[in-house]
């Protein structure tokens, strides 16, 4: 059966209503396109969870600041649709920006908790407001039972999980582990911006996080280990936004030594900003 492509909410609803009439469970995988193996893994998880799988492709203008890479964000609609079809996706939803944000659109959701952890929110102040707005709309549009997100964007995963729960959106958020290149670099649509040299340097983020995690597992102080990781990234030529150890469930700064920890990092190499995180 070939994949359905819906470009408007009414086209999407026609299909979703039909599936609902047959009592089929559904899962959605929200993306910004330029799909790679990480996204495809999310589709595979969605297929495990539900009888019908939707992917959305929408480069959400609201989550980019004026100085960020909205206009040069990679786009490959034809390639993306082929990859989704190959992965066994049942429907691709590619809404129009004018339909998502008509000129009269003014509503925002006020976020708290993990959205105010002082990580991505500190360096990209509009980011989670934009993510929450579009994700809430996509959950409402698709009325999916499940939504699959990657741990790659760990703070985002916690933010959307909390929002869906707090607002009773009816969609259960599920996270899957980060898919990596053979050398450990987290797969990302933005990796294609890297020059050959930068691509080589970029592997240091994961390596440095793993070294810090090893030190903490061996009894080292998380603060000391992450500071050392940050310094070593700077020595390699990165501009570091943060390398930090946080409570894995709340992203709060840890206060006890028996908390589950997550190490999170964001750093720029050249013009490209990369993020990564790992469990301890």
- Contact characters 92-131, ligand AMP, x per CB under 6 A: ----------------------------------------
What's the closest the beta carbon of residue 99 comes to ligand AMP, in angstroms? 19
Q: Which region among 38-46, 113-121, 193-201, 210-218 touches ligand AMP (by CB under 6 A)?
A: 38-46
First to last CA, the chain: 43
Among 150, 162, 213, 248, binds ligand AMP (CB under 6 A): 150
Pick the piece of the chain touching ligand AMP (CB under 6 A) from 144-152, 199-207, 245-253, 263-271.
144-152
Encode 179-189: b = buried (16+ Cβ within 10 Å), e = exposed: bbbeebbbbbb
Region of 31 on the Ramachandran plot (φ > 0 left; ψ -120 to 50 alpha; else beta): beta
Q: Which of 36, 39, 141, 197 is catalytic?
A: 39
Residue number, 120 or 153, with CB nearest to ligand AMP: 153
| Assigned token pair, 34 | 């330029």
For residues 150 and 222, which CB has a smaller minimum distance to ligand AMP in the complex? 150
C-alpha span between 232 and 230 (Å, rounded): 5
User: How far apart are alpha carbons 90 and 74 in whole angstroms?
Assistant: 24
Gap between the Cα atoms of 147 and 136, Å rounded:
11
Rule CB under 6 A: is residue 49 a binding residue for ligand AMP? no
Output 149 or 238, the one with its CB closest to ligand AMP: 149
Minimum separation from the CB atom of position 60 to ligand AMP (A) = 8
What is the footprint of ligand AMP within residues 168-197 (CB under 6 A)? 176, 178-179, 186-189
Window 7-36: contact mask with ligand AMP (x via CB under 6 A): ------------------------xx----
- Picking from 72, 41, 74, the residue whose alpha carbon sits closest to that of residue 57 is 74
Q: How many residues does the chain have?
A: 280
Binding of ligand AMP by 149 (CB under 6 A): yes
277 binds ligand AMP (CB under 6 A): no
Q: Is 16 helix (H, G, I), strand (E, B) or coil?
A: helix
Question: DSSP letters of 25-64?
Answer: -EEEEEE-SS--HHHHHHHHHHHHH-SEEEEEE---GGGS
Please answer whether residues 241 and 267 qualify as being in contact, where contact means their C-beta atoms are separated by less than 8 angstroms: yes
Rank residues 198 and 259 by Cβ distance to ligand AMP and give the closer one: 198
Instruction: Let me know if 141 is a catalytic residue.
Output: no
Least separation, in Å, of the C-beta of 69 and ligand AMP?
12
Q: How many C-beta atoms lie closer than 10 Å to residue 252's C-beta?
A: 13
List residues with catalytic annotation.
39
Query: Under the rule (CB under 6 A), what is the footprint of ligand AMP?
Result: 31-32, 38-39, 41-42, 149-150, 152-153, 176, 178-179, 186-189
């Amino acid at each position: 059966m070939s994949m359905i492509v819906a470009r408007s909410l009414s086209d999407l609803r026609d299909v979703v209503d039909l599936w609902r009439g047959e009592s089929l469970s559904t899962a959605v995988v929200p993306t910004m396109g330029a799909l790679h193996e990480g996204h495809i893994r999310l589709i595979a998880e969605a297929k495990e969870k539900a009888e019908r799988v939707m992917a959305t492709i929408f480069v959400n203008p609201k989550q980019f600041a004026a100085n960020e890479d909205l206009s040069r964000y990679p786009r490959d609609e034809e390639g993306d649709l082929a990859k989704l079809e190959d992965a066994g996706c049942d429907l691709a939803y590619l809404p129009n920006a004018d339909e998502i944000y008509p000129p009269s659109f003014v509503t925002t959701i006020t976020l708290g908790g993990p959205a105010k952890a002082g990580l991505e929110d500190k360096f990209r102040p509009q980011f989670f407001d934009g993510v929450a707005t579009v994700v809430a709309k996509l959950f409402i549009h698709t009325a999916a039972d499940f939504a699959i997100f990657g741990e790659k964007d760990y703070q985002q995963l916690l933010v959307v999980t909390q929002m869906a729960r707090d607002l009773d959106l009816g969609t259960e958020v599920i996270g899957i582990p980060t898919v990596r290149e053979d050398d450990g670099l987290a797969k990302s649509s933005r990796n294609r911006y890297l020059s050959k040299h930068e691509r080589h340097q970029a592997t240091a983020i994961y390596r440095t996080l793993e070294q810090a995690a090893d030190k903490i597992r061996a009894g080292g102080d998380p603060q000391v280990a992450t500071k050392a990781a940050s310094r070593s990234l700077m020595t390699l030529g990165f501009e570091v936004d943060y390398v930090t150890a946080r409570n894995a469930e709340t992203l709060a700064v840890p206060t006890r030594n028996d908390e589950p920890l997550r190490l999170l990092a964001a750093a720029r190499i050249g013009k490209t900003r990369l993020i990564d995180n790992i469990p301890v």
